[in-house]
Structure 1
Amino acid sequence: MLKQFFIICSGSDTDLLDNCSIGEQNKYAGIGATVFFTAVMAFIAASYALYTVFDNYITAIAFGFIWGLLIFNLDRFIVSTIKKRNNVMDELIQASPRILLAIIIAIVISKPLELKIFEKEINQVLLEQKNELTLANQNQIAEQFNPSVTALENDITFLQNEISTKEAEVNALYDTYISEAEGTAGTKLLGKGPVYQEKREKHDAALAELQQLKIDNKVKIEANEAQIAQLKTDYDSKVASTQPIIDGFDGLMARVNALGELPWLPSFFIFLLFLAIETSPIFAKLLSPKGEYDHKLEDAETAVKTWVEQKVNERNILLKTDMALNNKIYNDIAEEDELYTYKRKKARELMQLQADAFFKHQKNAL
């Protein structure tokens, strides 16, 4: 039962193969088994690749099964259409397009399995890429907020410097009127005279301005600090909202690109393995000698070909004979006086009708 199933998978003519030797049947059963298990590997590879895209087992398995059937049909077609010739070069020319197709199929099958085999290494590469993307994303978002934050911080610094300058001015006025009272500067008269009183009033006025400046600048500084805090909150919110996009950077294309960052030799050997599996049925048929099945298949095909050529040749001969007979018949009829007289009469009537129609048309035109 299993042997018969694999023979069907090989695409061979079961009616012819049933009458062949056991060894010939085993050869094609082996070819069919290779075709079948290649399709199974294609199903597994496609299911995994599609799962990374859809993240759904049912969808991945369904589309993977369809892909496996497609690969099975292609491999079966490739193997079944290779015919044994009497010339090795003709066989290679015949098989070259099929070998090229087998290489393409091997690449398509092996790539998803490489992604699964090197999953841990790919995850490490993706982690590094995500970290780089996270830093780049934070820097790009910061560039949108930094100018505003810097301007507000500079404004706060200016307001604080304004207070410090006023404080220095008030302190200087304080030292001036104290020195005047002590007699160590100014008029150098001990006591609180008119000059002291003038300097004291000037200091008190500056002190009042300082206090008012502190109140006004404090309000401005608090407003600027509130704006800076809001900008930082907006920055954190934007970083948090864009981070899931970076965290989800692990799709099929990202994994394929990450696989390209790894050493190429292990992936190349896996590709060679699948290439060997995919092309093994083709080379098995090319390298094996012409067997019993090949002779019977050639006999059946040449019998049909000969029969078709014979039918076509018979139709050509029939056509040529019929044409020769028709020519002879028409030549004999052309020599009959009765037919000549009849056609002459009809030709005269036709020319009269044409002359009458032309006359009527010209008359109407006038």
Structure 2
Amino acid sequence: MNKVSKFFLFCSGVHQPLLEECPSEKNKFVGIGASVFFTGLFACIAATYTLMIVFNSYLIPIIIGLFWGLMIFNLDRYIISSIRKYESLKMNLWSIIPRLILACMLSLVIAKPLELKIFEQEITDELTLIRREITQQQTDSINQQLKSELQLIELKEDQLGGELAVKTNKRDELVKTAQQEADGTGGSGKRNLGPIYEVKKANLQAYQQELSEFKEYHDRQFLKLQNQKDSLRNASAMAIENIQQPMANGPAAQLHALNRLSSRSSTLWWAVFFITLLFIIVESTPILLKTLTPRGPYDELLDRLEKSYLKRHKKSQLS
């Protein structure tokens, strides 16, 4: 037996001295061991790629990826070696359900980073689009805030303009009243410049002084509001110029981009689905192979060995 076959037998978790008595079983366990090995290899590659995205380097991702691959390999090897073949197919299936669930979870962990690598170009384009959308949202938020603040200032301008219009109309009414009193078309009805006219003229002059002062106040406040509007526009323009596109490029951002692409494209959705399904099949194949294949000589010998050990153990306890 060559070294590769021995290594794959080790990967399968088989008891090799016992397997020597069942030569016909070796190919089956070599195939199971190869599946376990390549599952660990895929896990190592997937973890290394994912960590390269996070750390943006090579050394640390490779070291951690190797440990992750070895952990998955060891876990798969334990799962396969712990499966026992029963006479009943129903009992076999019930015994592997927890192991199949765990295998499916592991396959998802392995598949996702590789999916990110396979669709790397599409994800990169989608991330660029997402950054533009976020930048546009920030720009719209700044513009909306500017619009709200400008509306408040314009409301103050309208209030000032309304007060000025009311006071101007009142001044015009006083002018009209004094003129009518002077020419006899209103007021007392007598055409003269008597005391009544003088009173109305004095009222007009007093109100004209008040209107002149209010106009000066109005002009100062209006200029102040205009300066506030200009300052707000300049601050908003500067804020828009200083907007920086988000640099999110980690696994979470890439998964979000992949999900967006999958939701828009049924072709991409099916591609992602079948890639995930492929890894689920790869991860589950060793378990299914060992469970669904008929009991062979190795299983019989292993049962006898374990039962013999249990009997000796019980006798030693009783004695």
Q: 1:26 corresponds to which residue?
A: 27
Is 1:270 the equivalent of 2:267?
Answer: no
Count of aligned pairs: 306
Distance 1:127 1:143 in 2: 24
- Partner amino acid, structure 2, of 1:9: C
* Alpha-carbon distance, 1:236 to partner: 4.9
Task: Rate the CA distance shift 1:74–1:131 in 2: closer, same or farther, 3 A.
Answer: same
- Spell out, residue by residue over 1:204-254, the C-alpha distance to the aligned partner (whole angstroms, 9 max, x if none): 99999888766554433332222223334444566667x54x724554334
After TM superposition, give the deviation of residue 278 of structure 1 in Å: 0.7
> TM-score under structure 1 normalisation?
0.62
Select the structure with the greater relative contact order (CA < 8 A; seq sep ≥ 6).
2
CA distance in 1, matches of 2:125, 2:146: 31
Change in CA separation of 1:24 and 1:308 when aligned onto 2, cut-off 3 Å: closer
- Contact 1:78–1:98 at 8 Å: present in 2 too? yes
Closer/same/farther in 2, CA of residues 5 and 138 from structure 1, 3 Å limit: same
Unaligned runs of 5+ in 2: 176-197
Q: Which residue of 2 aligns with 1:343?
A: none
Tell me the distance in 2 between the aligned counterparts of 1:315 and 1:83. 25
1:328 paired residue number: none
Higher alpha-carbon deviation: 160-169 or 25-34 = 160-169
Q: Is the 8 A contact 2:85 2:92 kept in 1?
A: yes
- The SS at the match of 1:247 is coil
| Amino acid of the structure 1 residue aligned with 2:10 | I
Which residue is equivalent to 1:186? Answer: none
Distance across 2 between alignment mates of 1:210 and 1:58: 81
CA radius of gyration, larger in: 1
Deviation sequence 1:2-56 (CA, Å, 0-9, x none): 33322222222233345653x6433322222221221121122223333444444
Secondary structure at the residue paired with 2:45? helix
User: Would the alpha carbon gap of residues 310 and 252 (structure 1) be closer, same or farther in structure 2, given more than 3 Å must change?
Assistant: closer
Amino acid at match of 2:274: F
1:81 corresponds to 2:94? no
1:313 is matched with which residue: 312, 315, 318? 315
CA 1:204–1:279 in structure 2 vs 1: closer, same or farther (change >3 Å)? same
Match of 2:293 among 274, 278, 288: 288
What amino acid is aligned across from residue 4 of structure 2 in structure 1? Answer: L
Match of 1:256 in 2: 255
Q: Contact (CA 8 Å) 2:127, 2:253: kept in 1 or not? A: no
Identity, in percent, stands at 32
- 1:1-366 equivalence runs, <5 A: 1-18=3-20, 20-21=22-23, 24-119=25-120, 120=122, 123-124=125-126, 127-128=129-130, 131=133, 134-135=136-137, 138-139=140-141, 142-143=144-145, 146=148, 148-159=149-160, 216-236=217-237, 243-244=243-244, 247-261=246-260, 262=263, 263=266, 264-292=269-297, 294-295=298-299, 298-299=300-301, 302-303=304-305, 305-310=307-312, 312-313=314-315, 316=318
> Could you tell me which residue of structure 1 aligns to residue 186 of structure 2?
none
- Separation in 2, partners of 1:206, 1:311: 118
Q: TM-score, normalised by structure 2?
A: 0.69
Q: 1:35, 1:72 within 8 Å by CA — same for their partners in 2?
A: yes
